[in-house]
Amino acid sequence: MTSSPAVPRSDVRLHIVTGKGGTGKTTVAAALALALAGHSQRVLLAEVEERQGISQTFDVPPLGPEETRVARTASGGEVVGLSVEPKRALMEYLQLFYKLGRAGRILEKFGAVDFATTIAPGVRDVLLIGRVYEANRRRLDGKHKGQGPPAYDALVLDAPPTGRIGRFLGVNSEVADLAKVGPIHSQSQSIMRLLTSTQAQVHFVTLLEEMPVQETLEAVAELREKGLHPGFVVVNMVREPLLDDAALEQARAGRLHRSSITNQLVEAGVKATPGLVDGLMTEARDHAHRVDLEREQLELLTASGLPIISLPALPEGAADSGSIRQLADLIATQGMV
């Protein structure tokens, strides 16, 4: 189902994963990070909503504000997890760029830190992305300049949902407009340069249902408008139809051959009452409708022109590291990394 992506894969360092709430953003971000690490890479996986999604997904203790390894791959790659916390990010930022240790504490005491991280327009988002931006620039030696090897080969951001992604990623240009001069201004400009470069791609996780697909298509348009680069559409929790196309066709039209199915059932020793057979026919027809609806949605996604990969609904859910590995393999074999 894949076609060649708009941007050559090798260029992409920052993968931003969005999608409607509950579609599997965190799960897919984790699997993508693991798939990238499978190429013996060092990968940072960052979440920004303070929900401990990463630690739950990888079955590890809750992440503190430090970058902590959460998984290793056979090839020697690793996934490092980070739960970005805005207050902490602000303090680190002040320290890093202004050596403002004491003033930082006073800002905190006067509630300015709370203010900045909750209500000042966009500052919270700038800090969250800024933290990822910083990790992207960092070299292995911990410095932020020079030509040394980078601290991370790739970064995956488990981003806010489609309803907020445009604002979240666009916030830096808004803030750059708001703060017309000064360090916040130049910081937000450089972040925007990274986000709109070919090094960054936004991936969309969706189910084959109307609302998440609608939101995906709207977000794709919005982000393109803002100069960001949509990457892959990941169709998650896919269930294969349980009837083949010919049977679906008949079921939809209510023409599944009733008497022969009844005969088959009777021969196999099932007490095929008319009520039972009616019920089975209804189930088959509803299933056909559901499959139609899903195919309509898939067509809408295909029309967006973005490469699509699909991940199955795992019967036991996906909340453990074994499932994540399974999904990571599927991501790799479908050519997303």
**Residues making contact with another protein (CB under 8 A):** 20-22, 51, 94, 98, 100, 102-103, 106-107, 109-112, 114-115, 118-122, 163, 167, 178-185, 209-211, 214, 242-244, 246-247, 250, 256-257, 260-261, 263-265, 268-271, 273, 275-287, 289-290, 293
Q: Is 210 in the site for ligand ATP (CB under 6 A)?
A: yes
Question: At closest approach, how far in Å is the CB of 126 from Mg ion?
Answer: 21
Task: Report the DSSP pairing between strands 42-47 and 78-83.
Answer: parallel
Match 């327009």 to its residue by tokens: 121
Contacting range for ligand ATP; rule: CB under 6 A; set: 21-29, 189-197, 216-224, 277-285: 21-29
Question: What SS3 state is found at 105?
Answer: helix
Alpha-carbon torsion (260, 264, 267, 269), positive or negative:
negative
User: Residue from 25, 42, 229, 285 that binds ligand ATP (CB under 6 A)?
Assistant: 25
Would you report the helix, strand and coil content of the chain in percent, each value rounded to 5? 50, 15, 35
Q: Supply 101's token pair.
A: 């240790």
Torsion of the alpha carbons at 212, 85, 47 and 304, rounded to the nearest 10: 40
Per DSSP, the residues of 288-317 read: HHHHHHHHHHHHHHHHTT--EEEEE--TT-
From the list ligand ATP, Mg ion, another protein, none, pick the one residue 122 interacts with, judged by a Cβ distance below 5 to 8 Å according to partner type.
Answer: another protein
Q: Supply 56's token pair.
A: 């739950």
d(CA 77, CA 70): 11
CA 31 to centroid of chain Cα atoms: 9
Question: At closest approach, how far in Å is the CB of 240 from another protein?
Answer: 11
Question: At closest approach, how far in Å is the CB of 102 from another protein?
Answer: 8
From the list another protein, ligand ATP, Mg ion, none, pick the one residue 253 interacts with, judged by a Cβ distance below 5 to 8 Å according to partner type.
Answer: none
Q: Is 23 in the site for Mg ion (CB under 5 A)?
A: no
Q: Is 319 in the site for ligand ATP (CB under 6 A)?
A: yes
d(CA 248, CA 263): 20
Q: Is 140 in the site for ligand ATP (CB under 6 A)?
A: no
H or E element in which residue 127 lies: helix 123-137
From the list Mg ion, ligand ATP, another protein, none, pick the one residue 208 interacts with, judged by a Cβ distance below 5 to 8 Å according to partner type.
Answer: none
Q: Is 26 in the site for Mg ion (CB under 5 A)?
A: yes
Residues lying near ligand ATP in the complex (CB under 6 A) are found at: 19, 21-27, 53, 161, 210-211, 236-237, 311, 313-314, 317-319
